[in-house]
Amino acid sequence: MFCTTVFVLTFASYVVAQSTPWGQCGGTGWTGSTTCPTGWACTAMNPYYSQCLQATSSSSLSTVSSLSSPVTSEPATTTAPRSSTSTSTSTLTGIAGTAPTVGPSKKVGKLPALGWNTWNAYGCDIDESKVLAAANQFVSLGLKDAGYEYVNIDDCWSEMSRDPTTGRIVPDPAKFPDGISGVAMQVHNLGLKIGVYSDAGTATCAGFPGSLGNENIDAATFNDWGIDYLKYDNCNVPGNWSDSATPPDNDCNSNSAIRYRQMTAALAAQSRPVQFNLCIWGTANVWDWGVRVGHSWRMSGDAGPTWSYITSIISINVQHLSSIDFFSHNDMDMMEIGNGALTIQEQRTHFAAWSFLKSPILLGTDLSKLSSDQLAIIKNKELLAFHQDSVIVTPAAPFTPSPSAPATNPPEFYAGESSKGIHVFIINTSNTTATKTFNFANVEGLSGRGLFTVHDMWTGKDIGKFSRSYSTRLDAHDTAAFLIESTKKKRSPRT
C-alpha cells in the first residue's frame, strides 16, 4: 500500500487545522496540514514522511543510547544476531542494550514471496468478499498452480480504536463480518496462506491502530487468527523513536531497526511462523541489517503504474544485490500489472525485473480484469522458476555486453545462473525499438567459444545456435529473457 500517504479526507479525526505533536505534517502524497503547534517543528524524516517534532529535541534523537524506552521491550536474549558485524549488546545502553536480538523464523521466507495484496487494487475500499474473490481466483486462474500462495490484506481492515478490555485490534465488522480469522480459515481451506498489515508506529498510514508498544498482544492476536505474513509499515513514528540521520552501515541498533526488532521477537514467541516484511521505505540502510530482523524489506517509496517507477526501483536495487540471499530479499514493492497505462512491454519488464532480481512478487490488481496476455506474463513458468530457484539464490547482475556498449541507468544487460544454467536478460530502456547485442565471452560462466543455444524464456522455445555474439530486436521498454546453453562445464551452484 501507499506506506507514506495518510488519507485525511477519509477519516474525520485527521481533518484538523494543524498537525498534532508527533503527527505527520508533510511528505510525498501528503494532503493534510503542514503546520505544527507552537514549540514543534515540521521535520523531514525522509522524502515520504515529515513529522511534528519538538523544536528543542533534535539533540535527543542523535543516538539510541540517550533514550529511555517508551514501550515495554522484550527481555534481552542470548541469541546472537545473524550478522557478525553487529555490536555486542554488552556494550550498549538504553533501548539498544535491552532490545531483543532474536531473529526471524527460518521456517518460512527462504524464497521471495509470491502472492497478492489488496492495496494497489482497492486502497481502503476493502472487504471480505474482495479478499476471498482474489483467493478463489488464485485457483481458477491457475495462479496457485504457478506458485502464488499469499493473499494479503493491507491497511484499513480494523476499527479506529482497540478493544478497551482486551487491548486487541478489532477487525471492522462491516468489512469483515467473519473477522480476519474467518477469512483466514477460508483462505487456508483453499490451500493458500493469508497476510495482514500493521505499522511500527502509533498508527497506520491511514490512521488505524499501529503496533508500536503493542507488539506482544498484536503478534499473539495475529497468531490466534492464523496469519502467515505480516507487512509492517513505517508511519506515525514518535520523535523519540525516530533517527535524526541515516544510521551507520550495518547498524541494527538504530531506533528504526529496534522498532522492527521488537515485532520480530513478538512474532518469534508465537507458535505460527510468519513471513515478516519490513515496509521501511528504504530508510536506515535497511538492506544492511534487514536479514537479522525480517525476511524482506522495502527498498524505496511506494510503487506506481509508471515506467519511471519501474526504472527507478531497478536502479536502486542493483546497488544492493549483495543483500539478497535465502531468507533475505530486497523488496521492490507490489506489482502494478493490470493498473494504469503501462504498455504490455512495460508490464513484461515489470515482471521480468522483479523475477531476475528476486524481489517478492505480490500482485496488486483486480485479478478478474487481467487479460490473457497479462496472465501469461505473471504465470511464465521459466521466469518463475528462476525467481523461485531453491538451489541457486543469487539474482542476475548487470554486465557489460561488449567493449563499445554505452552505459545506461538502469543497466540494460543482466546475467545470472539458475539450476538450469546461465541466463541473460536485456531491458530496452530507450523509447524506440532497438537492436541489442551481447558477446558470449562477456557473460560470466560462458567461455565465448563454440556454439551456444539461445532459448527464449518467454516462449519456452529454442531460437537457434550462435557463436561469438547474439543480437535481438526489442520494442521500447520491453525485456528479453534467455537461457544460454554451452558446452562449458557448469560452475558449482551456490547453496
Query: What residues act catalytically?
Result: 233, 302
C-alpha cell, 85: 558485524
Cβ(275)–Cβ(232) under 8 Å? no
Strand partners, 365: none
Residue 462 to residues 453, 457, 478, 482, Cα–Cα distance (Å):
7, 9, 19, 9
From CA 323, how far away is CA 319, in angstroms rounded?
10
C-alpha cell, 239: 520523535
Strand partners, 471: 437
Chain mean position to CA 495: 23
Strand segments (E) across 336-380: 361-363
Residue 96 to residues 101, 103, 104, 193, 218, Cα–Cα distance (Å):
10, 15, 18, 34, 22
From CA 454, how far away is CA 431, in angstroms rounded?
26
Q: What is the DSSP letter of 59?
A: G
Closest among 436, 433, 416 to 424, alpha carbons compared:
416
**Ramachandran sector of residue 281 (left: φ over 0; alpha: ψ -120 to 50; beta: rest):** left
From CA 347, how far away is CA 127, in angstroms rounded?
27
Cβ(155)–Cβ(206) under 8 Å? yes
Q: For residue 202, report the phi and psi dihedrals to the nearest 5 degrees.
A: -75, -20
From CA 263, how far away is CA 212, in angstroms rounded?
8
Residue 326 to residues 283, 330, 402, 444, 453, Cα–Cα distance (Å):
22, 11, 32, 22, 30
- DSSP notation for 104-122: --SSS-SS--EEEESHHHH
